[in-house]
Amino acid sequence: MPFADLREWLEKVDRIGEIRTFEDVDPELEIGALTELSAEAKGPALLFDKIKGFPPGFRVVSNLFRGNKRLLATLEMPIDLNRRQALRRWMEVISNFKPVPPVEVKSGPVLQHTMTGGEVDISVFPAPRWHELDGGNYIGTGDLVIVRDPDTGWINLGSYRIMNHDRNTGGIFIQTMRHGYAIAKKYWKKGQACPVAVSLGNDPMLLLAAGDTVARTAEKICEYDFAGYVRGQPVEVVAGKLTGFPIPATAEVVLEGDIPSPEEELRPEGPFGEYLGYYAHGRLPELVLRVKGVSYRDNPILIGKPPLKPTFGGRTSLPLSLANLWNRLERKGITGIQDMRTISGASALVIALHQEKEGHVESLIQALGELQNIHRLTVIVDDDINLDDPRDVIWAIGTRSEIKTGTHFFIGVSGDQLDPMMPPDVREEKGIFEFTRSVINACRPYRRLHDFPPVCVFGDAWRKKINDKWGTGLFSPGGS
């Protein structure tokens, strides 16, 4: 039975032993440090209560998806799938996508409490300062920002960070290539502020859909429809009190208001520890969110999803967003891909290929060049390489690549505003940053596949024989 909201998700995760509660915690860095340490140790999701300065019951939950079981449970998949099985299963799910639109209901728990006009005060909700160099407290790190295209009525959900400025203003950072930004621009062109609803605690499936963490949702696809499809039942929404936008009926807290144009108002935002593991953005003037109304549930639970250095596992413990790339490569006629994963989040992509013909690797490289993906480095290896062991991947590069002829460059790929290599002046002007993407062919040459020097390693049969005779774990840490 799919869970309906964050509270049911917490119950489900509790049943599989994947949540730990902390009480009497400080929102100034302590919640952030505990979150980072749990993610680093592949630990549980964390629920914080009795947060210093806030009423008991006003909670924050973090480290939602850096654990395979809870990520798979969120996606309604069997929780014991391994990385490759999960990726293959998810490829099927996203290729069969059929929109399941939300259904509007008359009321929902999100409307239990409201604030309007002079009552509005977002500082009543816990907003942690997540990392030591952060320039403020962030109420929105795992939020849904809901906007409506004024021309087509299309509802778009994205996740963009929100920093607290004062009781009714937040700073919102939306990269200019986002759908959310394109929609806001349409209002600004008409001389209007862009109406917006921001939901701060939701069924985590909605966050996975809105944040692009599991699939790239194309323009004109509403993330509610995608979440409803994965769930197998439509998301229930109510009309926001102020905007009339569909907001999740079981959301924990919803802020409604608008975003004025950059010409009308900008305020310094950041620095904020970002998803590539740096403070690349620094403190720059950014858009503001003017909050004019708030709806919230009894004892609300806010999702905290601060970016962490990607070596702790990226935005999710499994790189399921690669399912889209793999599907697109197959649609381009590329066969033989056996496995795919990222190393250290978005930093590098590794693809294991079973070479079937002369020129197979080159066809894959050409197809990668034609598709946009954000990895600065892609390494293609043979399918005997263990992608889960970065040493094996480096060994393949060190012994099977000819860097001079086997490295391919794709020049002028447009990059992310948070890329630490982006020159500061380009970032300040919100210009386009173009970088070079490279692909290393670390496969044995096809024509030498059968006489390439064999690898000197014991195979499974001998390993089993030794294990049967001497016992497993003979030399593992702690063994004698």
Ligand X SMILES: Cc1cc2nc3c(=O)[nH]c(=O)nc-3n(C[C@H](O)[C@H](O)[C@H](O)COP(=O)(O)O)c2cc1C
How many binding residues for ligand X (CB under 6 A)? Answer: 17
Task: Tell me how far, at minimum, the Cβ of 410 lies from ligand X, in Å.
Answer: 21
Q: Per-residue x/- mask for ligand X, residues 61 to 80, rule CB under 6 A?
A: --------------------
Of 27, 180, 270, 415, which lies in the binding site for ligand X, with binding defined by CB under 6 A?
180
Applying CB under 6 A, among 179, 231, 290, 297 the residue interacting with ligand X is 179
**Is there binding between residue 213 and ligand X (CB under 6 A)?**
yes
Tokens read off for 45: 């999701």
Q: Which is nearer to ligand X, 178 or 354 (CB)?
A: 178
- For residues 187 and 189, give the distance between their C-alpha atoms in angstroms, rounded to a whole number: 5
Contacts of 420 (CB under 8 A, 6+ apart): 276, 278, 280
Please identify which residue in 32, 142, 170, 273 interacts with ligand X, judged by CB under 6 A: 142
| Long-range residue pairs from 364-369, CB within 8 A, at least 24 positions apart, any chain | 364/329, 364/334, 364/337, 365/408, 365/439, 365/441, 367/329, 367/332, 367/333, 367/334, 368/329, 368/410, 368/439, 369/408, 369/410, 369/439
Please, what is the minimum distance in Å from the beta carbon of residue 159 to ligand X?
4
Q: Does 211 bind ligand X (CB under 6 A)?
A: yes
Q: Dihedral sign, CA of 233, 234, 237, 243?
A: positive
CA–CA gap between residue 80 and residue 100 (Å, rounded): 27
Strand order in the sheet with 246-248: 103-104, 236-239, 246-248
Q: Which residues of 102-138 are buried (b: 16+ CB within 10 A; e: fewer)?
A: beeeeebbbbeebbeeeebebebbbbbbbbeebbbbb
Binding flag, residue 161, ligand X (CB under 6 A) = yes
Contact flag: residue 345 with ligand X (CB under 6 A): no
Q: Cβ closer to ligand X: 161 or 241?
A: 161
22 residue type, one letter: F
Residue 476 carries which side chain, given as an amino acid letter? S
Bridge partners (DSSP) listed for residue 439:
378, 408
Q: Among 305, 375, 400, 437, which residue interacts with ligand X (rule: CB under 6 A)?
A: 305
Given candidates 102, 109, 158, 270, which one binds ligand X under the rule CB under 6 A?
Answer: 158
> What residue has token string 């790929």?
413
Q: What is the dihedral of CA 436, 440, 441, 444, to 10 degrees?
A: 170
Among 31, 47, 72, 174, binds ligand X (CB under 6 A): 174
Regarding 212 and contact with ligand X (CB under 6 A), the answer is yes
Nearer Cβ to ligand X, position 159 or 202? 159
Contact segment (CB under 6 A) with ligand X among 38-46, 121-129, 172-180, 450-458 equals 172-180
Kindly identify the residues of this chain, within the stretch 80-139, that bind ligand X according to CB under 6 A: none
| Residues in region 405-444 near ligand X by CB under 6 A | none
Q: Which of 58, 90, 130, 160 binds ligand X (CB under 6 A)?
A: 160
CB of 305 to ligand X, least distance (A): 4
The residues that touch ligand X, with contacts defined as CB under 6 A, are 142, 156, 158-161, 173-175, 178-180, 211-213, 305, 315
